[in-house]
Amino acid sequence: MNADIILGGGGLASSLIALAVRAVRPKARILILDRAAGPSDSHTWSFHGPDIAPEWHVRLGPALVGNWPDQEVRFPAHARRLRAGYSSMGSEGLARLRDKAGIETLWSSEIATLGRDRAVLRDGTELTAPAILDGRGAQPGPHLVTGFQKFVGIEIECDAPHGIPRPVIMDATVPQQDGYRFIYVLPFTPTRVLIEDTRYSDGAGLSDNELAAEAMDYAASRGWRGQEVRRERGILPIALAQDAAGFWNDHADGPVPIGLRAGLFHPVTGYSLPVAVQVADLIADTQPMTTEAIRARLRSFAQRRAREDRFLRLLNRMLFRGCPGPERYRLLERFYRLPEPLIERFYAGRLTWADRARIVTGKPPIPIRAALPCLPEAPLLKGET
């Protein structure tokens, strides 16, 4: 065997699993296969303070590019400062964590095939391990129906201090277009700031130049002028309907899918780090560490999680199917008036039944006649609209 565990793809899910395995099995041979030529600064992953356990805060600390004690949201009729901490981690820092932990990455590795006990690269190299995981990103399939969260972010070094003391995770005071639109702002230093133009849209089409220009217009409207130092983009799935049992029946053999490839992300926000941490701990604790043992445990976890997330997918159907695009921001504006502990549990994926009732009671977020067609999930999975 070339390794104890091989992970296809060098993204977030694979990296966190590798770090968790290394923490409990210091002598394990861990190998990541990444098609990229080397580390890059193309990704930022963020999370709320209550989302993950204290030991993970410590483990990820050296990779953080930002760590703030609070955050805020802005809407046309409501703005609020939220007490939960907020952190952001960069892809370069995550790669350094892997290197420091002694996790080997084979860069420029184009994977031809992944099986349950081997990986074959396009150059013919064959690598074997008792555990093979597939974290090569989201893949369209019949068992997950989605909307899309699309964004382009511009990081600029300002000529003068920007004056933003904390992350603005949603500024929806901007004109609404292409669904629900907001600006996401991360102030990394007093003069360096990331500005992302973000859309919750029905389609996956993304005009990088258009959204980049909108982000720069937002900066100019705040008086921020300076030099662009980095750019990132993303198209994330937002789950409307999911058949986890069908997905895992289709993946009863071969490598174990992880991360976005397995539909493991927060259905509403698209955030993937909190659930990736849970999966990493689960896999690191699996005995024996084989493809089939990991598959059995992860399948059970993923199906349970999908059942628990049914309410969140309903909220998405109300947003995407029950509300006209220009009016979608009103649902989020209403949500951010709710008690802060509920908002924190929502982000962490730990809503109680009382929380769920609180979200949908009171003045309906959308008219009843528009909400009723959103209730069933099965028609979307059958291709019905």
Question: How much is the pLDDT for 355?
Answer: 96
Question: How much is the pLDDT for 32?
Answer: 98
CA distance to 102, 112, 172, 183, per residue, from 21 (Å): 11, 25, 40, 37
CATH of domain 5-64+90-137+241-308: 3.50.50.60
- Which residues make Cβ contacts (< 8 Å) with residue 119, sequence separation at least 6? 6, 8, 33, 111, 113, 126, 127, 128, 129, 132
Residue 195's H or E segment, with its range, is: strand 192-201
What is the distance, to the nearest Å, from the Cα of residue 57 to the centroid of all Cα atoms in its chain? Answer: 17
Going from N- to C-terminal start, the domains of the chain cover 5-64+90-137+241-308, 144-239, 310-381
Residue 79's H or E segment, with its range, is: strand 78-82
Question: How much is the pLDDT for 364?
Answer: 63
Question: How much is the pLDDT for 374?
Answer: 83
CATH of domain 144-239: 3.30.9.10
Domains 5-64+90-137+241-308 and 144-239 share a fold: no
- The closest alpha carbon to 17, from 282, 299, 248, belongs to 282
Question: How much is the pLDDT for 378?
Answer: 86
What is the distance, to the nearest Å, from the Cα of residue 130 to the centroid of all Cα atoms in its chain? Answer: 28
Q: Tens digit of pLDDT for each residue in 113-170?
A: 999 999 999 999 999 999 999 999 999 899 999 999 999 999 999 999 999 999 999 9
Per the listing, tokens 């095939």 go with: 113
Q: What is the pLDDT along the chain (385 residues), one digit of tens a residue?
A: 699 999 999 999 999 999 999 999 999 999 999 999 999 988 999 999 999 999 999 999 999 999 999 999 999 999 999 999 999 999 999 999 999 999 999 999 999 999 999 999 999 999 999 999 999 999 989 999 999 999 999 999 999 999 999 999 999 999 999 999 999 999 999 999 999 999 999 999 999 999 999 999 999 999 999 999 999 999 999 999 999 999 999 999 999 999 999 999 999 999 999 999 999 999 999 999 999 999 999 999 999 999 999 999 999 999 999 998 899 999 999 999 999 999 999 999 999 999 999 998 877 667 777 777 888 898 898 887 6
